[in-house]
Amino acid sequence: MRDPDAAPVRLADYRPPAWTVEAVDLVFELDREESEVEAVLALRCDVPGAPLRLDGEALALRWLELDGRRLAVDEFHLTNEGLEVFPAQGLARCRLRSRVGLRPAANTRLEGLYASGRLLLTQCEAEGFRRISFFIDRPDVLARWRTTLRAERARYPVLLAGGNRISERVLEDGRHEAVWENPHPTPCYLFALAAGPMARVSKRLTGADSREIELNVWVEGEDPEPCRYALGAVERALRWDEQRFGRCYDLGVFNVVAAQDFTMGAMENKGLNIFNARYILADERSATDADFLAIESVVGHEYFHNWSGNRVTLRDWFQLSLKEGLTVFRDQEFTADLHSRDLKRIEDVRLLRGRQFAEDAGALAHPVRPAEYREINNFYTLTVYEKGAEIIRMLHTRLGEAAFRAGMDRYFSEHDGRAATLEDFYAAHSAASGVDCRDMLAWYAQAGTPVLAVERHFDAEHGRFELRIEQRPPANVPGAGPLPIPLRFALLDAFGHALPPPAVHDAEAMPGGGLLLRHARHVLRWEGLAAEPLPVLNLGFSAPVRLELAYTALERGRLVREARDGFARWDALQALALEVLLDRAGARPAPAPAEAEAALFAALGALLGDAAAHPAFVAECFVLPDIDTLADAVPVADPLALVAAREALLERLAETHAEALAARFAALEAAAGGGLADAAMAARRLRHALLPLITRRDGGAAARALFAGARGMDERFAALRALLHAGVEGAEAARVRFAAEFADDPLVTDKWIGLVATRPRPEALEAVQALMATPLWLPANPNRVRALLGGFARSNPAAFHRADGAGYRLVAEQVALLDAINPQVAARLLGAFEGLPRWAPAFAGRARAALAPLRQGERSRDVAELLARLPA
Ligand code: TRP
Ligand code: ZN
């Protein structure tokens, strides 16, 4: 293991590689216990006289050959981190041949070559390839790849690697071989192989550029049918990228493999994407609507990386958001174009404001492009992905679709087959649009969420209205300079009509409407108004900022009714709910007046009774701000007080609208039976948002009926959640039945385990511990760890923050155990403590005490780096 205390890697220290790999020829002798890898690297030296150093970790070196000559042990230097080859120094080119041994079955890190079930798989991003072969493991070394896989035919009937398959043959003694070639220059983090007994669904199609393409989605075993939906999603993604971005697929085959053991969501390896099975396998019996939508979105994400990440890759890992933020933006647009733009925006902003804002305000806050890191795996965060996507979205808002598309085309063509930086990206957009948008780069350098404080002034006598806008630095980054903010807004007159843009302002108008604010202060002025207008700011969440603008409860109620787009209406309702909740939690200096709660309930009641309102939209309105969002809105958070306030408000809401809730739930029953059509999903979304409220009043009758008569997993799971979380009669019986019926399906088992872990009661802790004492506890399976401990730590504030500190201790103890198995999984779990600096002193004290023992033992670089950033 590398030294956790070694100096950090710094962006400022970047140097181009002294040596590069032009071509790689790999031969694998695959076996789960003991695999062998022979690699021939065609190396070129670009800095004459530079030593040849290769990365390599946990490799059993058998021998080395340089230009056909076996090297003696004193001709190279081998360490825990790699290899230096002395006789290569001074050469302009050479061929290095190495043979190493690997132990896939013992690889619980799931990085490099590992076993999952009967499959052998690889995961190389970010720095996993060095666990497969000696290599120059950095993203700006782009090589051409040829991969030969050999294995026993009976155990490994399917042999897949990146690129196109160029040959296949049977060998002696029951073995066989497949050779794959990837003609596109590709860094090693995009290398992949998959071998074992797999079945596939498949489709042939012709790309917009007339290329014949075979799409395959593979899963372990004999039954590929659960891959059917994912295959459709691949095809939709491919067509969408052709149409919206003019990007075509560039190989003859696109393979996707589902893996039961996988650390993250999925991986965009060139020509061979490997996915967490939960983002592939789905049918109506075993997957919820949310699962289907997540599959489509992740399939799209990985597919879109083929251009944003693979054809144009990263110069170094500091540029991570260049591929991730951009690709999240692309997958968001894919979902918005295919389904509902308003709903997608609501979901994304909910995640951003709930989780990313919290990350950006907490102990682990970092800029989208950090200046340094110890372990790059710790930077695959909401900030790099979601805030990164928001920055791209701001660029899109600023330039408009046509200029943005021209900038993307220019970026892709200028950097095709190369490794790029964020500067390259903004230079391409500036050149294509004629708008110098390189000032957006400031967003990447500064952590924290900027504040827009807005005051309004109406001079009735002169009919003059002003918005005085001040941009303040994030609370945790004092002194940060103003960032360019594309602000979309509207002014509503007394009749709810939108007024024209301001007559006077000192900002730059954007082509699609709205203004680009560049300074700390701006004044926007309207003249000749008969009455005071009602402003709506940050329409569509045009910038990821905290907006401080005081409204009365009545005004917020008007916005919920009259704002033009769904997002603004939802946003006004959330703001109202937030105000009421914070007041109830005593977390507000000045109590919100009683009319705030009345306005909230009136707005929700009106939505409930409005048969014309889109059911999915109403559902989103009934999802009140979560604890992360509440905690984020106050300087010091008492998590249990926030939980109690939310509980009490939900109780009141259930009581106030009891009849209307039941009526709307019943009215949607027929529509909810329509399979996977968008309208049926919307009906279910609303029914299932209302069900927990109904369950508070009816003792579980509606939920039990839904469970008994469920027409698919979406209904069954919603019913089970309502029953288990309310702890009503029949809950345990339903859980036992559900668990037994799906005992052989690990993904569905994760679902009910997740419900147990998130039951909003302090006793959920004992339930989690009880499960950990059964064979269902699989600490080496990341999905199971996430379902049980991730759910507990991240989505069960009532138990995690328990007053006796037992929740914190459980998680801290498990971080220590998991760290020895899979450091990435352990580090992610530790992230549950990121809010610690802003927890009320009693909570923070208990959390620090729980973390103290973790600081003693030997830790991975992943966990050590996060521990160092959490307050001791
Ligand atoms: N590049 C992947 C994506 O966002 C995510 C990823 C990074 C990953 N590191 C990983 C996936 C490690 C699995 C394991 O699409
Ligand atoms: Zn990605």
For residues 770 and 726, what is the distance between their CA atoms, to the nearest angstrom? 20
Is the confidence at residue 270, as pLDDT, over 70? Answer: yes
Is the confidence at residue 98, as pLDDT, over 60? Answer: yes
pLDDT reported for residue 6: 82
pLDDT reported for residue 75: 98
pLDDT reported for residue 5: 73
> What contacts 510, CB < 8 A, 6 or more positions away?
397, 398, 400, 486, 516
pTM exceeds 0.95: yes
Closest-approaching ligand to the CA atom of 269: 1
Closest CA to 163 of 193, 142, 135, 134: 193
- 462 alpha carbon – ligand 1 mean position (Å): 58
Q: pLDDT grade, residue 177 (50/70/90)?
A: very high
The pair phi, psi for residue 355, each rounded to 5°, is -105, -45
Is the confidence at residue 476, as pLDDT, over 70? Answer: yes
Both tokens of residue 330?
Answer: 């692309």
Closest-approaching ligand to the CA atom of 822: 1
In 473-520, where do the E strands start and end?
A: 485-487, 489-492, 504-505, 508-509, 515-517
Closest CA to 605 of 659, 538, 536: 659
- 318 alpha carbon – ligand 1 mean position (Å): 15
Q: Whose Cα sits closest to atom 7 in ligand 1?
A: 125
pLDDT reported for residue 370: 98
Pocket test for ligand 1, best of 124, 125, 269, 326 (most atoms within 8 A of CB): 125
295-311 average pLDDT score: 99
Contact 668, 683 (CB under 8 A): yes
Q: What is the pLDDT of residues 773-823, one digit of tens each?
A: 999 999 999 999 999 999 999 999 999 999 999 999 999 999 999 999 999
For residues 296 and 234, what is the distance between their CA atoms, to the nearest angstrom? 8
Q: Is 120 helix (H, G, I), strand (E, B) or coil?
A: strand
- 769 alpha carbon – ligand 1 mean position (Å): 30
Q: pLDDT grade, residue 564 (50/70/90)?
A: confident
pLDDT reported for residue 587: 73
Q: Is 458 helix (H, G, I), strand (E, B) or coil?
A: strand
For residues 244 and 405, what is the distance between their CA atoms, to the nearest angstrom? 8
- Return the number of other C-beta atoms located less than 10 Å from residue 554's C-beta: 12
- Return the number of other C-beta atoms located less than 10 Å from residue 426's C-beta: 20
Q: Whose Cα sits closest to atom 5 in ligand 1?
A: 267
Which of the pair, 34 or 481, is modelled with greater confidence?
A: 34
Closest CA to 267 of 349, 162, 159, 181: 162
Q: Is 530 helix (H, G, I), strand (E, B) or coil?
A: coil
Q: Whose Cα sits closest to atom 2 in ligand 1?
A: 267
The pair phi, psi for residue 474, each rounded to 5°, is -55, 145
Ligand 1: lining residues by beta carbon, under 6 Å: 123, 125-126, 263-264, 266-268, 301-302, 324, 380
Both tokens of residue 493?
Answer: 């007159």
Q: What is the pLDDT of residues 305-320, one digit of tens each?
A: 999 999 999 999 999 9
Q: Which atom of ligand 1 is nearest to the CA of 302?
A: 15
The pairs formed by 510-515 with CB atoms below 8 angstroms and a separation of 24 or more are 510/397, 510/398, 510/400, 510/486, 511/399, 511/400, 511/403, 512/397, 512/400, 512/401, 513/488, 514/397, 514/486, 514/487, 514/488, 514/489, 514/539, 514/542, 515/486, 515/487, 515/489
Q: Which atom of ligand 1 is nearest to the CA of 324?
A: 4
First to last CA, the chain: 25
Average pLDDT over all residues of the chain: 97
Pocket test for ligand 1, best of 113, 191, 264, 272 (most atoms within 8 A of CB): 264
Q: pLDDT grade, residue 511 (50/70/90)?
A: confident
232-261 average pLDDT score: 99
- 250 alpha carbon – ligand 1 mean position (Å): 21
For residues 740 and 732, what is the distance between their CA atoms, to the nearest angstrom? 12
Q: pLDDT grade, residue 127 (50/70/90)?
A: very high
Closest-approaching ligand to the CA atom of 268: 1
pLDDT reported for residue 590: 59
User: Active-site residue 284, yes or no?
Assistant: no
Contact 169, 211 (CB under 8 A): no
100-127 average pLDDT score: 98
Q: pLDDT grade, residue 2 (50/70/90)?
A: low
* Residue for token pair 């964020």: 422
Q: Which atom of ligand 1 is nearest to the CA of 298?
A: 15
Determine what percent of the chain is predicted with pLDDT higher than 90. Answer: 96
pLDDT reported for residue 589: 57
364-368 average pLDDT score: 98
556-566 average pLDDT score: 93
pLDDT reported for residue 212: 98
> What contacts 399, CB < 8 A, 6 or more positions away?
407, 429, 433, 435, 437, 511
Task: Single out the catalytic residue among 38, 302, 333, 865.
Answer: 302
Q: Which atom of ligand 1 is nearest to the CA of 385?
A: 4
Q: What is the pLDDT of residues 76-95, one digit of tens each?
A: 999 999 999 999 999 999 99
Q: What is the pLDDT of residues 814-854, one digit of tens each?
A: 999 999 999 999 999 999 999 999 999 999 999 999 999 99
Q: Is 80 helix (H, G, I), strand (E, B) or coil?
A: coil
Q: What is the pLDDT of residues 708-738, one digit of tens each?
A: 999 999 999 999 999 999 999 999 999 999 9
744-754 average pLDDT score: 98
Is the confidence at residue 4, as pLDDT, over 80? Answer: no
